[in-house]
Structure 1
């Protein structure tokens, strides 16, 4: 009945790696409750994301989470939404004001953490990233705990457990979605009436037009804003949490980040996507953490026509899945893949290619907010190591070694804590 759900929760990538070693790059995974997917793993698997005969295919439980956002669609409807939203989240648009917002929120949060004996890493990063994306989007932050609870409840819809009785994941997810949507609808009404935060993303979304000049419908706006707020804090929170774990465990990396940012006297922390290119150590830490601990570890697709994968004929209608995270463990691409190694990214002659950017997706559905995530991670590292030096504190991981769990999205175990001690 529950299939591979227990092992997927605690060791999804391990299961995929063992299965690939034993069975080859194509094998079935049972998500439980009669939901099976043919996984395709390996360097060539990302080609599936660009094949016109293979389309998005969220199961019903995930459709309730993402709604009619652009993540759900291909073809003309996807282009309609993507062309309206892309200009609002590109590197040029983000540089106009988001960097200052991100820096101020990060500094305030880190100062508060360092006044405590210890913090639970992932919950703290979730609060930080939620405040950042809300501030960037122009969502009032007075009720962040309620929003945070609602999004955690919404994500329960990831579990394919049938039934809609009170207390079950589907019921709680739908109730949370209704709560979120009511508040987003009210914010859009304020923006259209001129009473919202001028220049915020909510304000710009309300006036967005696609490449043909057509506006997004109210439901398209609600679904896309809900999805962007979700992805903009849950995925980033996981990456920031692992960055804290890595920096807390390795003093030489803290020293390298500090030296790199203090040497950049004109711009001690990147204020734009272009600025970020000048911080190779900090960038490498972000990319290596993303390679090993990408939060979105699977992407669902369906073969709408018969096709061939790895020499095998795949019938029309076959439910498929690709794991961008598993690509990061391919020895042919990343020798000794379990080792944390910044040399994979530092002093490169070329920028990361599509395979190396796989955690952000590929093809038409490449992550629309990857510039924000990159800038946020680099600013966080700079602020974190500078604050530690300023206060004379040393971070230490408490308890057992942190590990990644994979549902609803990949993240370090919630009990993982970091304590701050005097040198």
Structure 2
């Protein structure tokens, strides 16, 4: 009944790597409750995402989470939404507003952490990331605890447990979605009446048009904003938490990033993605953490017409999956993949390619929020390192290094604590 779900929860990438070693690049994984997927792993696995015969295919429980958003559609509907949303996220005024919001939240949160002396790092960064994405989107932050509880319940829909009885994941996820959507409708109405936060993402999206001049429907707006709020804090919180854990357990990395920001003490931290080249160590830490600990470890698809993969016939209707995170452990792509190695990213003459960016997806469904996530990671590291060095403190991991937990998304154990100790 549970299939591979228990081992997927605690060691998803280990299971995929062991299965690939024993069975080759194609093998079935049982997510439990009669939900089986044919996984395609290895260096060429991303190619399947570009095949026209391979389309989006997520179970009903996940559809509850993301609805009619970009993440769930292909073809004309996907192009309609993407052509309306992309220009909004790539406008310079939006990046400037997002940068200011990120810097303000990060500074206040880090100051509070240092006064506490130690924190449970993943929950703390969930709160920080949710605060940031709310400010960027123009959502009032007064009810932040209630929104946080609602999103914790919403994401339970990832678990493939059948039934909608009270207390079960699907029931809790559906109730949370209804609560969130009611508030997003009110927020959208305020934005259209001019009563919302000026310059916010919600306001910009409410007047966005696709490449044919067609606006997004109310339901498309609500579904995409709901998905952005979720992805914009859950996945980012996981990456930021792992950055802190790595810097707290590896003194040589802390010293390297500290020296970089000490040398730039008279200049502000990164305010845009273009500033990344001024901070090569900071950028490399983000890329290497993303390689090892990407939070979105699976992508689901289905086959609409028979295709051939590695000499095997994959018939129409076959449920497929690929794992961007497993590519980070592919020895042919990343030699000695278990080693944390900044030289994979520093002093490169070329930009990261599709494989290296695979944690953000591939093909038409490449993450629209990639730039915002990278900017948040760069600004967080800069503020974190500078604040601790000014205070004469260093971060220290309390207890053994945590392992990645893979459900609902990849993240470190919530109990992982970081202390701030004198240098």
TM-score, normalising length: structure 1: 0.98
Which residue pairs with 1:358 in the alignment?
Answer: 358
For 1:12 and 1:288, the matched residues in 2 are separated by 19
1:100-179 pair list within 5 angstroms: 100-179=100-179
Q: 1:26-63 CA distances to partner (integer Å, 9 max, x unpaired)?
A: 00000000000000001100001111110000111111
Q: Residue 253 of structure 1: CA displacement?
A: 1.6
For 1:180 and 1:244, the matched residues in 2 are separated by 30
Which residue pairs with 1:375 in the alignment?
Answer: 375
Contact 1:94–1:272 (Cα < 8 Å) also in 2? no
Q: Residue 367 of structure 1: CA displacement?
A: 0.5
For 2:132 and 2:385, the matched residues in 1 are separated by 19
Structure 2 portions without partners, runs of 5+: none
For 1:209 and 1:401, the matched residues in 2 are separated by 47
Contact 1:65–1:157 (Cα < 8 Å) also in 2? yes
- Structure 1 window deviating more from structure 2 (223-232 vs 97-106): it is 97-106
Contact 1:91–1:371 (Cα < 8 Å) also in 2? no
Contact 1:95–1:273 (Cα < 8 Å) also in 2? no
Q: Residue 89 of structure 1: CA displacement?
A: 1.3
Alignment partner of 1:400: what SS?
coil
For 1:255 and 1:382, the matched residues in 2 are separated by 13
Q: Residue 266 of structure 1: CA displacement?
A: 6.1
Q: 1:278-314 CA distances to partner (integer Å, 9 max, x unpaired)?
A: 2111000000000000000000000000001112111
For 1:396 and 1:262, the matched residues in 2 are separated by 20
Paired residues in the alignment total 423
1:265-344 pair list within 5 angstroms: 267-344=267-344
Q: 1:182-236 CA distances to partner (integer Å, 9 max, x unpaired)?
A: 0000000001111111111010111111010001111000000000000000000
Alignment partner of 2:376: what SS?
helix
For 1:94 and 1:209, the matched residues in 2 are separated by 16
TM-score, normalising length: structure 2: 0.98
Which residue pairs with 1:391 in the alignment?
Answer: 391
For 1:91 and 1:259, the matched residues in 2 are separated by 33
Which residue pairs with 1:231 in the alignment?
Answer: 231
For 1:407 and 1:102, the matched residues in 2 are separated by 27
Contact 2:261–2:382 (Cα < 8 Å) also in 1? yes
Alignment partner of 1:29: what SS?
strand
Contact 2:126–2:237 (Cα < 8 Å) also in 1? yes
